[in-house]
């Protein structure tokens, strides 16, 4: 017991030595505050460490996104182009690169898949031959501008020349009856104009002393019996004076010389002019009557100088008159006058029509239409053989010349600059190229195309003038979305002389924990109600360079998808996009950090991509 007590007594001083001596002085107020501050500092430090670890874990995906971006290896210097040069796509000028592929190959365009061409920085892109301009518009701009397209197709084309003329007599069916002897009109069988007469009908009877003398010579020569030459001379003289053969035979048979000459009509028709009366004296060479046959008539009309090449003698024509509005008369082109009227700059033509019913009357106005198949004249005849399409015909038309169809565009699609004709062709959705074309004559609102287009081309049938204004006045105005012609270009000098539109900043990755923060490169703007739940970010030039590093088969898919369904950022903004498969569908993510969340919510990711596609289509 004594030993134990001794140990206890020995231990007590040890304990007391570690504690504050009872006899020590009390702490000052300053020391107390310092002690409390140290205790609080230790506690706060511990809480801060816990909070930092929690935030690091909570923002792990964002940290990994930036880690992938910062640690991604860059292309080596050996794959860089020479200073001052760059790659570009002739079909999509907004696609520009300054490096080769990692394996040293020439890069390809992520939009059209064609190998890129090389040029000096700042050099204007050279358009292919026959292309006057190129512009790409967003679906919203196309809808607002009312641009409509149609596919060019083959159509039969006929040049119709329309003019107005007047009906006149057919000069080949007009007879003028002239007196061949001097004398007096004793009797008129036709004493009114426009009387219908037939060939051989008597018109007038003339007393002529010269006729009586010649008839008497014939009678005397015939009675003499042996003077055949005198009789033949007298007979020929009577024929030349206009006496008919039947009347001469009557004189010889009766033996009495005739003193009166009967004037007969040489043809059937109307007596359109009568220039004598009963008892009037007549002289040789004096016109007595004019007889016109109206079974055929002429139409004299004028055509413009530009229509002359489309006319040929023998062409079928159609004519209408007001008195027979429901009847169309047919005829042929008889003559193209070899002289152009200097005052009116028109050329006269003559048309011949059948008029067996005498419905067409001289003096009437007639509307004339001349239809000329385009393949029947040059140079369209050669163009039809080279580029036209033959219209199939039946076996019954085996001897008929082949008829051709031409590629045709609507009249509204033609932009006439004065020196050339331009049509805008939609090569890809929203991308239009101005193509210089050669056209034929207008027909039913369409123009045949002999050069510049091919079957299946889709042309802007409405709104072509707005597209032309876009390419001429402000090519950068279309740079409101990826693929516009005024998109990001190289750092070289830009061509002057055209105004530039304000640039539209690309949407950059945002912090998922601070989604209400605007991007660093985008100024703060007043909030407005969104038109859609999904905002489609547009890749910029750097993003496109990252997309181009994907295999060729995946580039177009990535360009079409545009955004990462996890972060909503543009593909390529965090480096080369990552390819995964969700529900059997190929999906691209901006980085590896998004893979986990995408696989945990595949349906939500696919829904976001579907909504983004609808927003892009407008």
Superfamily grouping for domain 159-169+294-377 = Efflux pump adaptor protein, beta barrel domain (2.40.30.170)
DSSP structural state of residue 396: G
User: If pLDDT is split at 50, 70 and 90, which confidence band does 62 have?
Assistant: confident
Does pLDDT of 321 surpass 70? yes
Enclosing H/E stretch for 409: strand 404-410
> What value does the mean pLDDT take over residues 462-487?
54
Of 457, 414, 473, 461, give the one whose Cα is nearest residue 439.
Answer: 414
Distance CA 124, CA 489 (A): 11
Does pLDDT of 407 surpass 70? yes
Distance CA 556, CA 550 (A): 10
Q: Evaluate whether 561 touches 606 at the Cβ level (below 8 Å).
A: no
> What value does the mean pLDDT take over residues 332-361?
93
Q: Evaluate whether 287 touches 204 at the Cβ level (below 8 Å).
A: no
Give the position of tokens 């023998």: 314
Top CATH class, 171-292: mainly beta
What pLDDT was estimated at residue 516?
Answer: 42
What pLDDT was estimated at residue 538?
Answer: 73
User: If pLDDT is split at 50, 70 and 90, which confidence band does 115 have?
Assistant: confident
Other Cβ atoms closer than 10 A to 31: 10
Q: Evaluate whether 348 touches 301 at the Cβ level (below 8 Å).
A: yes
The length of the chain in residues reads: 618
> What value does the mean pLDDT take over residues 486-503?
37
pLDDT, tens digit (0-9, with 9 covering 90-100), for 525-541:
444 444 444 566 677 77
Top CATH class, 139-147+386-478: mainly beta
Domain residue limits, the chain: 77-121+490-617, 139-147+386-478, 159-169+294-377, 171-292
The CA distances from residue 296 to 293, 364, 490, 545, in Å, are: 7, 14, 77, 80
> What value does the mean pLDDT take over residues 92-97?
74
Of 277, 265, 119, 117, give the one whose Cα is nearest residue 186.
Answer: 277
pLDDT, tens digit (0-9, with 9 covering 90-100), for 379-399:
677 766 666 666 655 444 455
Does pLDDT of 520 surpass 50? no
């Amino acid at each position: 017991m004594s030993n134990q007590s001794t140990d206890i007594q020995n231990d007590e001083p040890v304990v007391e030595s570690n504690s504050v001596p009872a006899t020590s002085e009390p702490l000052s107020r300053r020391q107390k505050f310092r002690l409390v501050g140290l205790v609080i500092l230790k506690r706060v430090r511990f809480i801060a460490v816990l909070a930092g670890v929690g935030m690091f874990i909570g923002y792990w995906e964002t940290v990994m996104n930036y880690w992938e971006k910062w640690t991604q290896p860059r292309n080596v210097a050996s794959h860089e182009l020479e200073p001052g040069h760059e790659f570009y796509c002739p079909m999509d000028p907004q696609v520009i690169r300054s490096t080769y592929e990692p394996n040293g190959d020439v890069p390809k365009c992520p939009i059209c898949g064609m190998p890129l061409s090389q040029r000096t920085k700042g050099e204007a892109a050279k358009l292919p031959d026959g292309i006057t301009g190129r512009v790409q518009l967003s679906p919203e701009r196309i809808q607002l501008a009312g641009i409509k397209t149609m596919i060019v197709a083959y159509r039969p084309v006929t040049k119709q020349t329309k003019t107005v003329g007047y009906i006149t007599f057919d000069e080949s069916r007009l007879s003028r009856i002239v007196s061949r002897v001097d004398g007096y009109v004793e009797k008129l069988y036709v004493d009114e104009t426009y009387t219908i007469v037939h060939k051989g009908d008597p018109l007038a009877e003339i007393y002529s002393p010269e006729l009586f003398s010649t008839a008497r010579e014939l009678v005397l020569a015939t009675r003499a019996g042996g003077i055949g030459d005198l009789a033949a001379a007298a007979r020929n003289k009577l024929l030349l004076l206009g006496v008919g053969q039947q009347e001469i035979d009557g004189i010889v048979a009766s033996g009495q010389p005739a003193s009166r000459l009967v004037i007969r009509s040489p043809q059937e028709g109307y007596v359109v002019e009568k220039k004598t009366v009963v008892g009037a004296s007549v002289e040789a060479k004096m016109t007595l009557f004019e007889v016109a046959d109206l079974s055929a008539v002429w139409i004299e009309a004028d055509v413009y100088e530009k229509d002359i090449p489309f006319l040929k003698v023998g062409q079928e024509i159609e004519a209408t008159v007001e008195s027979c509005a429901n009847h169309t008369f047919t005829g042929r082109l008889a003559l193209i006058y070899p002289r152009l009227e200097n005052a009116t700059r028109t050329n006269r033509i003559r048309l011949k029509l059948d008029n067996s019913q005498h419905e067409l009357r001289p003096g009437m106005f007639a509307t004339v239409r001349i239809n000329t198949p385009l393949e029947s004249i040059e140079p369209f005849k050669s163009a039809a053989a080279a580029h036209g399409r033959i219209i199939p015909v039946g076996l019954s038309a085996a001897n008929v010349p082949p008829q051709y169809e031409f590629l045709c565009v609507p009249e509204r699609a033609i932009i006439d600059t004065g020196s050339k004709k331009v049509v805008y062709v939609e090569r890809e959705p929203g991308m239009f190229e101005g193509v210089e074309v050669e056209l034929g004559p207008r027909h039913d609102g369409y123009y045949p195309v002999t050069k510049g287009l091919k079957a299946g081309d889709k042309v802007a049938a409405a709104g072509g003038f707005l597209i032309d204004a876009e390419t001429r006045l402000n090519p950068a105005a279309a740079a409101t979305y990826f693929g516009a012609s005024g998109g990001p270009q190289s750092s070289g000098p830009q061509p002057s002389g055209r105004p530039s539109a304000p640039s539209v900043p690309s949407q950059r990755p945002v912090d998922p924990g601070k989604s209400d923060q605007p991007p660093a490169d985008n100024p703060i703007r007043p909030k407005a109600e969104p038109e859609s739940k999904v905002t489609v970010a547009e890749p910029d030039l750097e993003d496109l360079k990252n997309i181009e590093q994907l295999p060729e088969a995946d580039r177009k898919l990535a360009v079409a998808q545009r955004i990462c369904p996890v972060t909503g950022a543009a593909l390529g903004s965090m480096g080369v996009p990552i390819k995964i498969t969700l529900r059997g569908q190929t999906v691209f993510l901006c980085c590896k950090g998004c893979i986990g969340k995408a696989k945990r919510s595949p349906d939500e990711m696919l829904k976001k991509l579907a909504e983004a596609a609808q927003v892009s289509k407008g």
